[in-house]
Amino acid sequence: MTFSQVNQDEGSDMNVVELKNNFQKRKIIKNLFLYGAMTNTDLGQFVKLSTPKIISLLNELKAEGLVEELGQGNSSGGRRPNLYGNKEDAFYIIGISINIYKTSVSIFNAKNQKVTDDHILTLTISHGTTIIDPIVEFTENVIREKQIPREKILGIGIEMPGMVDSETGINKTYMVSDQPVAEVFRKKFGMEVLIENDAKTRAFAELRFGLAHARQNVLAIHLDWGIGLGIIVNGKLYKGRDGFAGEFGHLPMVDNGILCKCGKQGCLETIASGTAIARMAKEGMATGRSTFLGELKDHDQENNEIRQVVQAATMGDQYSISILANVGHWLGKGLAYLIQIFNPELIILGGRMSEANQFILPPIQQSIQIFCNPELGNEIEIKVSELGSQAGIQGVAALFLEHVLDRN
Amino acid sequence: MTFSQVNQDEGSDMNVVELKNNFQKRKIIKNLFLYGAMTNTDLGQFVKLSTPKIISLLNELKAEGLVEELGQGNSSGGRRPNLYGNKEDAFYIIGISINIYKTSVSIFNAKNQKVTDDHILTLTISHGTTIIDPIVEFTENVIREKQIPREKILGIGIEMPGMVDSETGINKTYMVSDQPVAEVFRKKFGMEVLIENDAKTRAFAELRFGLAHARQNVLAIHLDWGIGLGIIVNGKLYKGRDGFAGEFGHLPMVDNGILCKCGKQGCLETIASGTAIARMAKEGMATGRSTFLGELKDHDQENNEIRQVVQAATMGDQYSISILANVGHWLGKGLAYLIQIFNPELIILGGRMSEANQFILPPIQQSIQIFCNPELGNEIEIKVSELGSQAGIQGVAALFLEHVLDRN
DNA sequence: CAACTTTCGTTAAATATTTAAAAAGTTTTA
DNA sequence: TAAAACTTTTTAAATATTTAACGAAAGTTG
């Protein structure tokens, strides 16, 4: 049994239809993908069925070549349970992470293992769709190189910054063309494509693999060049009517403040994002207010002012420290808003800027104390993401799988 | 068959246990309560079962005396379907709405019909629990007067302002005592009690009976003496970790602003609530800036400055108009925050202050244009609640029923 | 108004799923 | 080291639910 491609003939593959109609089997596949090998009993936690029924479904999946037995698990004094897992080559998913200055591509097998090395492409994201061709070509090369059978690729999940509506496949901010971006990708690849905003894919990664796992109400802040927010509510990723929920970076914070690229003035992003740090660093250098920033600049020219400022701050550069303190202050005020609105159980800070945590966390805490109701603010748990650099691409690959398997 | 009371002997009533274990039957009862008489097919929309199965459940419910046949519905060319509805006296629910200055009590039957007249009690809510005794006594009188069989009363739903945790039964703001308020009520009544924040019960009322019906992502603003927010997300009422989500009125809006009763300065509530209107009206009268406000005051001394200001504004009083315009401005800015965070499909304005709509809606719209991303702000639908004065009590009664029927 | 169409309710057969009991492995304990 | 205890898997019987066919009741049409 194989999965279908988006443009495959209808009915040419009976097995796909079969799986399509079997919600429970899809759920099993999904959980084995997300959480690895499991016993019958473990699966019972996810699919609410009796032991005999689950076993019969597993046997069918085994016969279909999607699942295999993987020896036995441990027991606390009794017969040892069989372990079941997806077969590595049951299917593949391509994950693409598009950032402002670079794009990376990974391929995951049915066990959610990365089967490719780190493939990074240096491309600057723009308004138009010019960067799509190089990404497609690059990805096709990776597929060919790794000899992934095309018919086993379920499709492609792509995360990107901007206001992304994954239903229509439109990004209102970047890569705008006469057709929805997802459609452009889909045509070039000839495969199913799902696009999603990067803050949301990272929140989803936290929900499935990270600190938000099995939690109900969590906010995941994505501190990058912009400021994103992924909202997890009742254990699900919340997207709002058009998928634009979480425009946290554009909350108006300063009256008559700096002009934001969104057209408004004084957005949180103008004073507390990676871009804001870069701007303030340049200002400091221009006016000679920093001891170390200028020197560091020479070492590293490629768009990582954030890291430069953090390094300078670590070395004791007062101006850099004040930049980060200021950023923390405003972020904290923004978080105070969110805490009062959502009463979340946990807030996760992730993204490029979390390198600066030691400098921004204290002012964040302080702002929360100042601006937040103590019943809410004192109880709040704030943690730094532990997922690392692969969060986004893992998140969007998993999101793609669920997108494919959850539709009825 | 009857429903059990909270302090009834275990196992004295087999039928309750039976219904307890039958999720689907409870769902039928719930939907017949919420939406009135229905056909077999209608019910199929809610309980996902085949026709024969639903009929067999309905027959059981009929035999148990909970459901009855109510003639036939219409058909578009074919045999006319049977209509089924809850029997009026299958059970009763008591709804209590506690406001700052008055409390009302209603009893609803199993058809969600109010079986009592309007019973209003003039009591001012305080920090302690002193107002509980009069409410209990009053309610007991109503029960006796209407001769509602006590064993058929499922329990009591109470809505009230403040930070309410319905899980623990604690209100952090009002009616504080050494025991959770809900517990105090429960003991005095000897019945099951659910308390909930008023903004949330009204949002729930909108979701079940009002403009939010069958909608997914809706914000319901409750404009009263305070400013509340009920959040509907993925078609469900969202409450956050402790039930304190929606503390919209205490978002910090003005630096070094007016001191709020929450202890912070410059909360939205200090400049845009009913209380703020009352304060500004008094200021205007003291400084002689208003033509009509002073006169109106004499007519009506009992805590409705809001209505006074609206009346004066209608008569052309410039100061009153400016008060309301200012309130609208700040509310609009607050809504802009919410719109960017939630990307809701609809915002509903309700509560006492919505009498002032003609004066506050235009500045609200304007603020949204100023402070909100146009992709989000231009598309947003803002409506005024159509539920009327019974919204809260209806909402909390329905919420109580679902609370009782949805637990496993 | 009879014939046709549509929708609904009933019935019985087919299918799906669970429960309960038995069998098969493992660990623990005596 | 064997028996006891425990847990999982298998099996078969019991139960639950759906499907599909049919008949009943109503609207529609010529």
Q: What's A55's domain CATH number?
A: 1.10.10.10
Contacts of B238 in chain A (CB under 8 A): 233-234
Contacts of A342 in chain B (CB under 8 A): 240, 245
Contacts of A377 in chain B (CB under 8 A): none
B329 touches chain A (CB under 8 A): no
How far is Cα B46 from Cα A208, in angstroms, rounded to an integer?
30
Q: Give the residues across from B348 on adjacent strands.
A: B220, B383
CB A217 within 8 A of CB B243: no
How far is Cα B204 from Cα B198, in angstroms, rounded to an integer?
10
Place of tokens 């497609």: A136
Instruction: Give B19's pLDDT tier (boundaries 50, 70, 90).
Output: low
B3 lies in a domain?
no
Q: What φ, ψ does residue A238 adopt, rounded to 5°?
A: -100, 135
> In the predicted model, is pLDDT for residue A227 greater than 90?
yes
Q: What φ, ψ does residue A406 adopt, rounded to 5°?
A: -85, -20
Judgement on whether residues B231 and B326 belong to the same structural domain of the protein? yes
Judgement on whether residues A77 and A146 belong to the same structural domain of the protein? no
Instruction: Give A308's pLDDT tier (boundaries 50, 70, 90).
Output: confident
CB-strand contact B71/D, under 7 Å: no
Contacts of B231 in chain A (CB under 8 A): 341
Distance between the alpha carbon (CA) of B51 and the C1' atom of C11, Å: 13
Q: What's the number of domains chain B is made of?
A: 3
> In the predicted model, is pLDDT for residue A98 greater than 50?
yes
3-state SS class at A277: helix
Judgement on whether residues A247 and A344 belong to the same structural domain of the protein? yes
A122 lies in a domain?
yes
Which is more confident, A310 or A207? A207
Instruction: Give A11's pLDDT tier (boundaries 50, 70, 90).
Output: very low
**Amino acid, res. B405:** L
B275 lies in a domain?
yes
How far is Cα B199 from Cα A299, in angstroms, rounded to an integer?
56
CB A55 within 8 A of CB A42: no
Which tokens hold the place of A398?
């998993």
Which tokens hold the place of A143?
């597929």
Which is more confident, B163 or A8? B163
Judgement on whether residues B191 and B339 belong to the same structural domain of the protein? no
CB-strand contact A301/D, under 7 Å: no
A252 touches chain B (CB under 8 A): yes
**List of long-range contacts for B290-298, beta carbons under 8 Å, 24+ apart:** B290/B317, B290/B319, B290/B320, B291/B317, B291/B318, B291/B319, B292/B316, B292/B317, B292/B320, B293/B317, B293/B319, B293/B320
Phi/psi region, residue B18 (left: phi>0; alpha: psi -120 to 50; beta: rest), is: alpha
Instruction: Give A336's pLDDT tier (boundaries 50, 70, 90).
Output: very high
Distance between the alpha carbon (CA) of A21 and the C1' atom of C16, Å: 14
3-state SS class at A340: helix
3-state SS class at B163: coil
What does pLDDT average to over chain B? 90
3-state SS class at B33: helix
pLDDT at B289: 75
> In the predicted model, is pLDDT for residue B4 greater than 50?
no
3-state SS class at A204: helix
Q: Which residue is nearest to nucleotide D25 (CA to C1')?
A: B79
The closest alpha carbon to B230, from B407, B391, B27, B8, belongs to B391
Judgement on whether residues A324 and A221 belong to the same structural domain of the protein? yes
> In the predicted model, is pLDDT for residue A18 greater than 80?
no
Distance between the alpha carbon (CA) of B50 and the C1' atom of D19, Å: 9
How far is Cα B407 from Cα B397, in angstroms, rounded to an integer?
16
Q: Give the residues across from B221 on adjacent strands.
A: B229, B349
Q: Is B289 exposed, middle or buried (0-12, 13-18, 19+ CB in 10 A)?
A: middle
Q: Which chain B residue has the Cα nearest residue A340?
A: B247
A298 touches chain B (CB under 8 A): no
CB-strand contact B49/D, under 7 Å: yes
Distance between the alpha carbon (CA) of B223 and the C1' atom of C18, Å: 52
pLDDT, average across residues B336-356: 94
Q: How far is B239 from chain A (nearest CA, A)?
A: 8
Q: How far is A240 from chain B (nearest CA, A)?
A: 5
The closest alpha carbon to B203, from B218, B193, B190, B189, belongs to B218
Instruction: Give A295's pLDDT tier (boundaries 50, 70, 90).
Output: low
Distance between the alpha carbon (CA) of A80 and the C1' atom of C27, Å: 10
> In the predicted model, is pLDDT for residue A6 greater than 60?
no
B252 touches chain A (CB under 8 A): yes
Last residue of a domain, one of B34, B65, B88: B88
**What percentage of chain B exceeds 70 in pLDDT?**
91
Judgement on whether residues B31 and B70 belong to the same structural domain of the protein? yes
Which tokens hold the place of B179?
């025991």
Strands A227-233 and A218-223: antiparallel
CB B355 within 8 A of CB B390: no
Judgement on whether residues A313 and A295 belong to the same structural domain of the protein? yes
Contacts of A252 in chain B (CB under 8 A): 333, 336-337, 371
Helices (H), A210-317: 268-272, 274-286, 293-299, 305-314
A120 touches chain B (CB under 8 A): no
CB-strand contact A53/D, under 7 Å: no
pLDDT at B3: 38
- Domain, as residue range, for B301: 211-386
B251 lies in a domain?
yes
B234 touches chain A (CB under 8 A): yes
Distance between the alpha carbon (CA) of B163 and the C1' atom of D22, Å: 60
> In the predicted model, is pLDDT for residue A213 greater than 90?
yes
Judgement on whether residues B33 and B169 belong to the same structural domain of the protein? no
A266 lies in a domain?
yes
> In the predicted model, is pLDDT for residue A372 greater than 60?
yes
pLDDT digits (tens, 9 = 90+) for A102-141: 999 999 999 999 999 988 999 999 888 899 999 999 999 9
pLDDT at B307: 85
Of the ranges B72-76, B116-120, B338-342, B387-391, which is most confident?
B338-342
Contacts of B246 in chain A (CB under 8 A): 341, 343
pLDDT digits (tens, 9 = 90+) for A174-192: 999 999 999 999 999 999 9
Which is more confident, B86 or A297? B86
Which of the nucleotides in strand C have any atom less than 7 Å away from a protein CB atom?
A: 5-12, 17-20, 24-28
Last residue of a domain, one of A89, A114, A131: A89
What does pLDDT average to over chain A? 90
A52 lies in a domain?
yes
CB-strand contact B374/D, under 7 Å: no
**Strands of B351-398, DSSP E:** 381-384
> In the predicted model, is pLDDT for residue A301 greater than 60?
no
pLDDT at B10: 29
Which is more confident, A295 or A381? A381
pTM of the model: 0.93
Count CB pairs under 8 A between chains A and B: 114
> Distance of alpha carbon B86 from its chain centroid, rounded?
23
> In the predicted model, is pLDDT for residue A10 greater than 70?
no
pLDDT digits (tens, 9 = 90+) for B268-317: 999 999 999 989 988 888 887 766 766 655 444 456 788 889 988 999 99
Residue B156 to residues B196, B259, B377, Cα–Cα distance (Å): 11, 36, 40
Q: Which chain B residue has the Cα nearest residue A246?
A: B341
B240 touches chain A (CB under 8 A): yes
Which tokens hold the place of B133?
């005794």
pLDDT digits (tens, 9 = 90+) for B106-137: 999 999 999 999 889 999 998 888 999 999 99
Q: Which chain B residue has the Cα nearest residue A369?
A: B264
pLDDT digits (tens, 9 = 90+) for A26-50: 999 999 999 999 999 999 999 999 9
How far is Cα A369 from Cα A372, in angstroms, rounded to an integer?
6
B238 touches chain A (CB under 8 A): yes
Question: Which region among A330-334, B9-13, B238-242 has the lowest average model confidence (pLDDT)?
Answer: B9-13
- Which residues have CB under 7 A from strand C? A 24, 48-53, 72, 75-80; B 39-41, 51-52, 55, 75-82
**Where residue A177 sits, what CATH number does that domain have?**
3.30.420.40
CB contact under 8 A, B250 and A345: no
- DSSP letter, residue A79: P
Residues 175-204 of A with CB under 8 A from B: none
CB B70 within 8 A of CB B37: yes
Q: How would you write A343-378 as a 3-class SS string?
A: CCCEEEEECHHHHHHHHHHHHHHHHHHHHCCHHHHC
Judgement on whether residues B378 and B395 belong to the same structural domain of the protein? no
Which is more confident, B378 or B173? B173
Instruction: Give A282's pLDDT tier (boundaries 50, 70, 90).
Output: confident
Contacts of B379 in chain A (CB under 8 A): 241-242
CB B195 within 8 A of CB B186: no
pLDDT, average across residues A147-152: 93
Give all strands of the β-sheet with B153-160 in edge-to-edge order: B119-121, B103-109, B92-98, B153-160, B193-197
> In the predicted model, is pLDDT for residue B182 greater than 70?
yes
Instruction: Give B408's pLDDT tier (boundaries 50, 70, 90).
Output: low
How far is Cα A222 from Cα A247, in angstroms, rounded to an integer?
11
pLDDT digits (tens, 9 = 90+) for A357-369: 999 999 999 999 9
B2 lies in a domain?
no
Judgement on whether residues B325 and B183 belong to the same structural domain of the protein? no
How far is Cα B150 from Cα B148, in angstroms, rounded to an integer?
6
B7 lies in a domain?
no
Q: What φ, ψ does residue A253 adopt, rounded to 5°?
A: -110, -30
CB A120 within 8 A of CB A134: no
Judgement on whether residues A166 and A251 belong to the same structural domain of the protein? no
pLDDT, average across residues B39-51: 95
Judgement on whether residues B382 and B399 belong to the same structural domain of the protein? no
Tell how many helices (H) and how many strands (E) occur in chain A: 15, 15
Place of tokens 């006796």: B144
pLDDT at A292: 72
How far is Cα B61 from Cα B101, in angstroms, rounded to an integer?
42
How far is Cα B359 from Cα B323, in angstroms, rounded to an integer?
9
Instruction: Give B267's pLDDT tier (boundaries 50, 70, 90).
Output: very high
Place of tokens 């998993």: A398
